[in-house]
A and B are shown apart, each in its own frame.
Chain A
Amino acid sequence: MEWQLSEDRPIFQQLYEQLCRRILTGVYPPGSRMPSVRDVASEAGVNPNTMQRALQQLDSVGLTESTRTSGRTVTTDEALMRQIREELAQGAVQQFYAETSALGYTREEAKQLL
């Protein structure tokens, strides 16, 4: 999976979203150890401090857990992962409506398209 960063939004947020996606799709499997900050930062070609911030946000929503001795591991909490997956899917749906409405479709018409 490639890292894609757009121009208009904070980099750490975009990294956070892509890290979420990687966890939800099993690129980083549940219970596994996350790669180090430096490694992911260099893979994505971004500043390690920015990556650190994105990873800390994963910690704060509970998708990963940091311990002092064993580094950062991916959660095994399936309910949480389902919930976050749904939130991301909702975001995608909203974006679909926003884009179709910019083309002059009503919500109902947009649903027809699907």
Chain B
Amino acid sequence: MNENVIQCINLSKDYGSGPVLEQLNLTIGSGRIIGLLGPNGTGKTTLIKILAGLLQPTSGQVLVDGHVPGPESKAVVSYLPDKMYFADWMKAKDLLDLFEDFYADFDRAKAEQMCASLGIVPTQRMKTMSKGTKEKMQLVLVMSRKAKLYLLDEPIAGVDPAARDFIMNTILTNYSQDGTVLISTHLIGDIERVLDEVLFLKDTKVVLHDTVDNIREQQGKSVDALFREMFRMNPIEGGNQDAQ
């Protein structure tokens, strides 16, 4: 067993127009729920895609459960992308079949149960589902795997507040004891109480990596408030990047 689920050493990524991530060093242990926070365009999705093995780092090293991202790591990583990738002719049931075929750790009974409680009809086609229902469906599939690392890229952006609570509870009760969940989101207030740790990304770097309770203890304010303060922009001048 590897203690560190995620390990990044001097990780950099450059798409050609300047660095997106620069010399990132990061270790994340198992059994935790971590919020990946930062303003738009600070590399959250890039980091998640590198961990999922969809992007190659420009330099530096990444280890997921002790492996360089590849077949071994993908077998233990459950990834929820920020975009839908399912064909719209597929029914909810087809997707369950697909995931059952594809992943050895997929728990079909659990997925069907979650579908039922979220009101997803197995015979409904993707193209007739609302944006929120599609997102729920995707989350059901991803959380029904018994993975070591769940990478959730903006999982609750399109769902209503009541379903959001349900989804956060789903994540809480379904991640396996030794599994780590990395969630990128802008809805900090909604998920703050389920997080162990938060990671703030800013200008290609990790500027803060601490537990939620430490932040509240030291700053006397919620992570949501701290975020707003750290990344405050001036609307008249069109946003000041150096604003502290």
Q: Of A7, A9, A11, A45, which one neighbours B165 at CB under 8 angstroms?
A: A45
Main secondary structure of the interface of A (DSSP, over half): helix
Evaluate contact between A7 and B222: CB separation under 8 angstroms. yes
Chain B contacts with A in 1-46, Cβ cutoff 8 A: 31-33
Q: Of A5, A9, A10, A47, which one neighbours B172 at CB under 8 angstroms?
A: A47
Evaluate contact between A49 and B217: CB separation under 8 angstroms. no
Chain A contacts with B in 46-84, Cβ cutoff 8 A: 46-50, 53
- Against A, the Cβ 8 Å flags (1 = close, 0 = not) of B198-231 are 0000000000000011101100111011000000
Evaluate contact between A42 and B216: CB separation under 8 angstroms. no
Q: A38 contacts which chain B residues (CB < 8 A)?
A: 173
Q: Quick one: closest B residue to A41, CB to CB?
A: B172
A18 CB to closest chain B CB (Å) equals 13
Interface size class of A (residues with CB under 8 A): 10 to 19
Docked Cα-Cα span, A41 to B213, in Å, equals 15
Q: Quick one: closest B residue to A5, CB to CB?
A: B193
Q: B221 contacts which chain A residues (CB < 8 A)?
A: 7-8
Evaluate contact between A47 and B193: CB separation under 8 angstroms. yes
Contacts between chains A and B (CB distance < 8 A), count? 53
Q: A41 contacts which chain B residues (CB < 8 A)?
A: 172
Q: Quick one: closest B residue to A12, CB to CB?
A: B213
Instruction: Report if A48-B172 is in contact (Cβ < 8 Å); known contacts: A9-B216, A10-B217, A11-B213.
Output: yes
Q: Of B32, B165, B220, B224, which one neighbours A49 at CB under 8 angstroms?
A: B32
Evaluate contact between B222 and A42: CB separation under 8 angstroms. no
Docked Cα-Cα span, A28 to B242, in Å, equals 51
Evaluate contact between B194 and A46: CB separation under 8 angstroms. yes
Q: Quick one: closest B residue to A38, CB to CB?
A: B173
Evaluate contact between A8 and B220: CB separation under 8 angstroms. yes
A53 CB to closest chain B CB (Å) equals 8
Evaluate contact between A47 and B216: CB separation under 8 angstroms. no
Evaluate contact between A11 and B169: CB separation under 8 angstroms. no
- Among all A-B residue pairs, the 10 with the closest Cβ atoms: A10-B213, A7-B222, A10-B216, A46-B193, A10-B217, A47-B194, A42-B173, A49-B196, A12-B213, A47-B196
